[in-house]
Structure 1
Amino acid sequence: MKLHLDAAAAMSSAMQAATSFSHLLTDQDPDDGDHVVPGELRRFLARLRLLHGVPFSYLVPDAALLPVESIRFFHIDRAWTDALVQGALSVGTVSTLDHAHLEAVYPHIRDEVDRTERAVRAPVLNGSPATARDQLDGPAGTITGCLLRSRLVSGWPGLHVRAYARDVLPDDALSTVAEDDPSRLKLLRMERLAPAVLLVLFDGLPEVVHIEEPRQGVQFGVRLNAADPPSARKARVALRNATDGALVPPINALTAGNSVEVPFRAGASGVIDVAELRKRLAAKVPNAASPLPASGLALQMLRFPYRQVFGDPSDEQGLHFQALDSFRPSVALADWKVSLDKVIKEARP
């Protein structure tokens, strides 16, 4: 007895077999549990979804779309990234049977890549990526992001970018919202593509985005007038009360009454004449000693990290939130000296 099997029946049998066994575990990852898709392939596809390896010219085809000192917000079309993943997977398909098998297992691939996508930036625990219980489950959602081209990126490599689904933090608050807060969106990718170009991807649609200078050490600074040319640049220093460090009102604007103009050295644009600045501050700082001591000068020049807020619905006037520079000492000077003397004595042999 001869058995005749035509092409249609063979294809139907292959499709049925692929569908029946596509859910079986084929990979055991010691760091991430059991999966259908091998770990290396899963992580490669997740990174591909986050545009790793995609030429920058595909993202920004013309330099005029991202001019100097600009930021562009966008969202990623999931259909485009899914097509990108499917194109990468199709490299290994040769026959019709290969295509049929890929079509059958693709839903499982998509689900596992969805999960891995959120773990690309997962923290490292004891030399290994975060475990499965620390990852976010569920289907992948909307991916949004921003491209920043600015001297800010090259000047502050440790720049902070935070996105919030709703505005829960005052713009002038010195604190931040914890990463596990439901209102704070997870960063899927944050990478410098060039010395002055930063790419950031968010897991969701933000209402407010904060870009902030890194909080590292103590920094001094002045406020420049961005409209001035470099050859005729002017700057001012906001005054603080020498007694308690409080800013002289009005806080959100620099006037002749609450600030002094910064003197620059003759023939050296951008170089501050510190001696002359000290005299001007001594003449206008409330409750200041004369001559102004070094500690008093440091108090006036102290600047907290600047925060730029995008999308705040309550900021109708575009305020720059200079209240971030508010200095609120919480330790008395006498107590600080006692603590410092104790540390010095303990450090000495």
Structure 2
Amino acid sequence: MSENTKIVQCFLPAMVAGKYTTEVSQRVIKDKASIQDIKKTFDFGVDAARFTLNPNDIYSVYPPANKSGNYSESLPHLVFTRRTLPWERTLDGKLPVFQRASTPESKRNPQEAPPVPWMTLLLFDEDEMKSLQINRNTIAAIIQPNLNDGIIRPAIFETGATGQEVLKLMEWEDKNNGCFTIDLTKEQFEHYIPSMKSLSLLAHAKEVSIDNKDKEGITDINAEGAGVFAVIVGNRLPAKGKQHTAILVSLEGYTDYLQDADSKKNIPNNHKARLVVLANWNFTDSGNASFSQLADGLEVKSIKIQRGNDAPELMSYFNSGYVPLEHLTRTGASTISWYHGPFVPKLFPATSKCISFASSDAALRYDKTTGFFDISFAAAWQLGRILALQNQEFSKAILNWRMAQNQLEAGKSRGDKLNTILSDDSETNIKDKVTRYLGALHEIEMTSPVETISDLPMTIPQEVKHFLGNLYKLNGIPFSYIVPHEFLLQKEHQKNTGSYTGTLALFYVDPNWIEALLDGALSIGRINKSDALLEQAVNGNFIDGYQTQSIDISSGTIERKGRRLNTTGFLLRSDLVSGWRGLEITAFDADGKLLPALRFERIDSDIFLGIFDGNIADITIKQPYEGLHFGIKNNSTYLKNLKNEDGTNQEITDGTADVNAELNDGLIQNGVIDIAGLASIMQEKLTAKHWMNTTGESKGIYFTSAEFAYQMIDSPVKKSITINVLNTDSHE
């Protein structure tokens, strides 16, 4: 499908959940004769999610939770962070069918007997949910059979409760533990629950490149560095213009009710089936706000307040990224001061040499025009100092390192003084030489040696490097320091769609603000304002993977070689971020070169931050590959084309390269798709057109969930944005 994605039928765990017995044998042989045979049997259990699901196991859902948009042409799906989760249990508690043979040679091919997930994703609209309710319950309310209350329960009974061959609780499972359940009527169960064959087609896995993603929450990574996800897809399309509830339910213990028609067990009339609810979320189909519409509606701007036409004398401040903030002085007086964070709309040139402050007050600047203070660098300096003091690992490491430097310098000075005295060939008597030496030692102690440029070769502690590198990338900085006013990153509400126009705010990183932040961090335990370590830090040399500038200290002063990091970036505030976790974003310079990301992550539910080494000229936003939609066009009729091996369609209109007629002929009823029937027709048509891989022994006869997913998914939506709002003029 793409170099970014590989679709896999399934990833099975080494052992599915359940109870196992292992036998250990030992035979003692003497003189070629057995004198003792020892056999021991051990019982053990393998656990997996069952009645509840860890929220961290869910990476993303679609349609997005609590959002409104155009969702009526896509089947709901849920993406798991663990590749094996849908197959870690079986419906009947036994080994998967293809593993049940008595000998390895007789095991069946998993493509012939595909593993069936133990869960499915249901969808109900607002009218149906009026008679349905998700209830808080206990495991006891699921496993107790024969209560004569008209409720059919999964075959998970307590030991001794029935003589049937049923699933049991594990020793560590308590029937009083809580869970959620939903009771479906006989008609709802039979219409909405997929068949056994359909279930096997509604779960697959994906291996996805994560190079251009926020990696938070991605826990399953293969040997090539790709993220591995499992996906569960529903079998029902959302209705247009309605609110919906998607519900992930467990089907464990319902094997008899999911069999083929000949062996299927039916739910009695006037009975309900109780299912364990593992997850649920709501969304509304409003006919608007699709991924494409949200991406096209982004407002691209510089990170500045775009107001003040009625006060033109303030525009120069706003255009430089400043905002007026209330300032409570140390004496208790209330005033207004100018402040800008590390992100500015203009290129602020770095100072020719490092500037170190003795205190935050020393970093204050007074603006004569407005009579306000500029507290930007003072706030950055004080914040750096506070964060450094909060980090015990850093503060201890930097103090110990400074002490070691002082001792090293003092020892070197003592040695130099002693060598000078000893090499004195004059006729000065020994008493005067000793007196001179002791006086020199006293001078060394009184001057309290501090770190100097010559100390840079001394190994810098890793804790210091790590903290300063993270601080350079603004990790741990409160958001109010980064974006001090909501007008800098504002979403506009669209009354006609109910959604918001997103904002893509572009910025330069002010190197002087970063320098003040780092200087504040390095101020703890420092006696002399001159700090060679600061020069290293502001060059970005402590960022993992970067060594931007070497330091020449041979002349006794710092001479810069190479370059400092030229950092630009963006803040994206949009429903794209909250609705499509795993959003793929790439930034390029004017030459089309991919820019390396210094920081790249979602910092709030709907805010994404990217900081790059280089000038951004183009940004590309792409749908996450692990969550590509299972799409069926639905205008007045259903439309679905088939894809050949390279993912294209030859624009054939004779019905041999689509399933349009079949979809409109009964494969979809009340939005519910006959998945097994659809897959069978797809396989038949693909085979007839030789659009399936017919190499090897299979000759194209297998059509698993991977092939089905390949045919059903839509191509990812891609939005390219050319940047022309960054002002490259230097700040005056």
Q: TM-score, normalised by structure 2?
A: 0.26
Point out which structure has higher relative CO (alpha carbons under 8 A, 6+ apart): 2
TM-score when normalising by structure 1? 0.50
Higher percent of residues as helix: 1
